[in-house]
Structure 1
């Protein structure tokens, strides 16, 4: 816990949260201070104006009716119960009291003109008054009890101090609470990362079921780990399959060459051995060429420019390319569909993908059977379908046939290296296309669906029974 708290206090999130709350608190305190200042000034200004008005009335009494009339007016005002919170004092030029309800002239008012605040003694109510000098040298003071305003001001000051302390405490608490949650989630990611480095890719970041941005991040990281684990498994599988598929041809080549090496030289036999070795090496080179081609396609994912291409023209060229091989096998190969179907894509890569589908259909379809390439539009997609009437692919194998070097048991004795559909999947992934395998019973349809616009969607391969 102490380590987590230390990380929390060192966290930039803590500092940012604390700064944000303090700024907010400063704004609130500033607004509060303005309201306090405006309120007290309004009340004080109202009292000042009322007192100055009353002072003016009493001065007029002195000027128009004389000193005695002023004394009578002060006595009358002081005797009214509603005015008991008001103070009045008439003093001679030496500040000695003459009339009024104030015991003596306040010292602070002797040198002040206008509004003055004072207390007659310690602990006495706060008074506010206006002082003036009359034409005969006498001094007149008119004021009122402003203790309520004083108490209001003290309460506001206390509330102000309390608010500052509360906002600061809230800022610290909220910053620590928010940061500890953030640091806790980050620490979970770090702990999983350390576990992965120590124990392998089997670890996953725990989800808390809050469905917030942290759970979303954890889910995305877990999906990334799943993908990395899948890719690592594919790399391992490819390595194993490459080693397995190379062992047999290389062993055969070595055996033939060793036999020819220890035998007597015969031109015809040596030429036959060399020819068979060349055929074996060509197969190996084709395998590496296919792997290199798939890697190049995957490396260019997202950077290959897509342009409008005519899928019917591509299908026609593929059929013409394989027409001779199909005729040799007794397979009837044809292209059907809409000549005006266009999709966004790379022409050469789409040609390779369709060519691999046709090659698989001719090789693995029914001898002397039918293979058709259909081009059409469907639900806003441009579709190329390659159909044969052979034995098809079991539904349980549909997802596996796109893996590199994966071959069905019945196909292991036929030529090939199990990379054709992997290349098709790589091209489909580059184009954001969908690949569907549909059993015709008998026969198989492989359908490649491309978008007619340039917006890519996530690649998916689907199988249907």
Structure 2
């Protein structure tokens, strides 16, 4: 367990992001510091080297115009003006013999052979430092004169190199600070970046423990992770709605199936008790068959809705006269309308031929008319209005019944949804779901307008023919 802990840390996203942030921060900072140090070193050294180059240029001019002896005399007079010369000069003859040397007292010079060898090898600039603690550091340059003599000049570089050494210490201190700061910044940025993911994981864990009300907090950053949190919350809302819908559906299905099953069971139990005539037993079987038909109708309607919504419903599309279908359905429901003391009227305009499956359209009309008559008050009126608009056949079924509550309007087309929670009116809660699914399979649509206490109007469309 403990041996796998470093591996888990290395595999964690926080560690990888921290390492990435820290590497980029430290690497970029170090590159900038190195560039700054190199530029500073070049600027500081170039000034001293320019002074030595100016001297060599001056000596070369004197040697070329006046000769080597005049150059030696010039250097001797120049250094004599000062109590202590502040630079080193050595002149070697064309054969390598030492002709002249002047050096400040106290300088710990490099071995003569080493210095002369560097000059003869053509080294333009070189540093030499004493091995002793607190020893000097000197910079030398050399140039071959026109007559073959070799002039070596040098200056004290202790102060300059000490300054650069201090800069190196400062640079190392800053480097350490940058490393620590880079790691700290990396951890902070990684944790802030992954905070929405941690919230997401916490929400998922809460949901896994059964808390469906858990949500991922959004931070208002309007970035990709905030968008992910919003989308995840929207998905949870939809899932919660679906789960609640499933619970309601199961409750409704259980109720709608339990009622006919209970009735059938009661009929069977009564039939089994005592002696009954053949006619009584026949009536009991008819009651059982009727309840069985209710169960079959519920299941068949559910299967029809699923087939229509998934595109698996078989439709026999043909040119259908909706006017004839409307008259046929109105005649079929005329007796029901008279029983409920409701007036059923048709209002048909123009050519109402449509491309549709006649059998399925009958289902649509039957469900809409059944609902309109069921929810109409005594003495009410149901009107069926057919017309043609912009290549579509439109049919409106309007009643003056109880209407639909505003809170029920968004859900009336859901499977098994019953706005009548008391179930005072008989029904499966599947009719409108089937209507919408069948119309969608035809390429049509349905809309509803309703006001509580004043009635409802359902309008559906089908492609005209």
TM-score for both structures, normalised by structure 2? 0.69
Q: What secondary structure, in the 3-state scheme, does the structure 1 residue paired with 2:383 have? A: strand
Partner of 2:340: none
Judging changes above 3 Å, is the alpha-carbon distance between structure 1 residues 396 and 90 closer, same or farther for their aligned structure 2 residues?
Answer: closer
CA distance in 2, matches of 1:248, 1:256: 12
| 2: CA distance, partners of 1:376 / 1:38 | 86
Q: Is the 8 A contact 2:344 2:382 kept in 1?
A: yes
Residues 367 and 432 in structure 2, CA contact (< 8 A), matched pair in contact too: yes
| Aligned match of 2:124 | 115
Q: Is the 8 A contact 2:329 2:362 kept in 1?
A: no
Q: What secondary structure, in the 3-state scheme, does the structure 1 residue paired with 2:245 have? A: helix
The alpha-carbon distance between structure 1 residues 245 and 347, as it changes in their structure 2 partners (threshold 3 A), is: same
Shift of 1:323: 3.7
Moved more, 332-341 or 105-114: 332-341
* CA distance in structure 2 between the partners assigned to 1:432 and 1:181 by the alignment: 50
Question: Are the counterparts in 2 of residues 337 and 376 from structure 1 also a CA contact under 8 Å?
Answer: yes
C-alpha contact 1:126 1:145 (8 A) present in aligned 2:
yes
Alignment of 1:378-393 (within 5 A): 386-393=397-404
Task: Return the offset for 1:141.
Answer: 1.4
8 Å CA contact 2:397–2:459 kept in 1: the answer is yes
Taking the aligned partners of 1:216 and 1:317, their CA distance within structure 2 comes to 54
Aligned to 1:457: none
Q: Deviations over 1:54-109 (max 9, x none)?
A: 4244234234423331023324554789x986543436755475446576864342
> Residue 204 in 1 paired to residue 217 in 2?
no
In structure 1, the residue matched to 2:168 is 157
Say if 1:439 and 1:445, in contact at 8 Å, map to a contact too: no
Name the CA distance, whole Å, in 2 between partners of 1:9 and 1:120. Answer: 47
RMSD of Structure 2 on Structure 1 (CA):
5.2
Counterpart of 1:325 in structure 2 is: 332
Question: How many angstroms apart in 1 are the aligned matches of 2:437 and 2:214?
Answer: 28
| Alpha-carbon separation, structure 1, partners of 2:108 and 2:421 | 120
Per-residue Cα deviation, 1:340-377 (whole angstroms, up to 9, x for no partner):
999xxx99999977774454235434667233457798
Deviations along 1:193-230, one digit per CA (max 9) or x if unpaired, are 444444x3354236375555556545544444443333
Inter-partner Cα distance in structure 2 for 1:445 and 1:369: 12
What's the counterpart of residue 454 of structure 1?
none
Question: Is the CA contact 1:326–1:332 (under 8 Å) kept in the aligned structure 2?
Answer: no
What is the CA–CA distance in structure 2 between the aligned matches of 1:351 and 1:155, rounded to whole Å?
97
Say whether 1:412 aligns with 2:430. Answer: no
CA contact (8 A) 2:345 2:383 kept: yes
Q: Which residue of 1 aligns with 2:3?
A: none
| 8 Å contact kept, 2:60–2:146 | no
Q: Is the 8 A contact 1:25 1:167 kept in 2?
A: yes
Matches within 5 A, 1:131-170: 131-132=142-143, 139-146=150-157, 150-151=161-162, 153-170=164-181
The equivalent of 2:15 in structure 1 is 14
- Look up the match of 1:445: 457
Equivalent in 351, 367, 370 of residue 382 of structure 2? 370
Question: In the alignment, which of 238, 249, 255 is matched to residue 244 of structure 1?
Answer: 255
For residues 62 and 179 of structure 1, do their structure 2 counterparts lie closer, same or farther at Cα, with a shift above 3 Å needed? closer
How far is the alpha carbon of 1:112 from its aligned partner?
0.4
* Runs of 5+ unmatched residues, structure 2: 1-5, 338-342
Deviation at 1:18, TM superposition (A): 1.7
How big is the shift at 1:27?
3.7
Structure 1 position 173, deviation (Å) = 1.0
User: Is contact 2:206–2:214 with CA below 8 Å preserved after alignment?
Assistant: no
Larger Rg: 2
Report the Cα distance in structure 2 between the residues aligned to 1:290 and 1:334, rounded to whole angstroms: 29
Measure, in 2, the Cα distance between the counterparts of 1:79 and 1:388.
Answer: 127
Residues 51 and 155 of structure 1: CA distance in aligned 2, closer, same or farther (over 3 Å)? same
- Give per-residue Cα distances to partners, 1:253-283, cap 9 Å, x unaligned: 23334444554553x5555444443332222
Secondary structure at 1:370 match in 2: strand
Instruction: Please tell me whether the aligned partners of residues 89 and 99 of structure 1 are also in contact (alpha carbons under 8 angstroms).
Output: yes
1:429 offset after TM fit, Å?
10
| Distance in 1 separating the partners of 2:177 and 2:446 | 60
Question: Number of aligned pairs?
Answer: 429
Residues 312-350 of structure 1, C-alpha deviation per residue, up to 9 Å, x if partnerless?
Answer: 9897697466343344535123466998999xxx99999
Q: 1:237 Cα shift?
A: 2.4
**Aligned position for 1:37:** 38
Pair 1:316–1:137, CA change in 2 (3 A): same
**Retained in 1: the 8 A contact 2:14–2:187?**
no
State the SS of the aligned residue for 2:124: strand
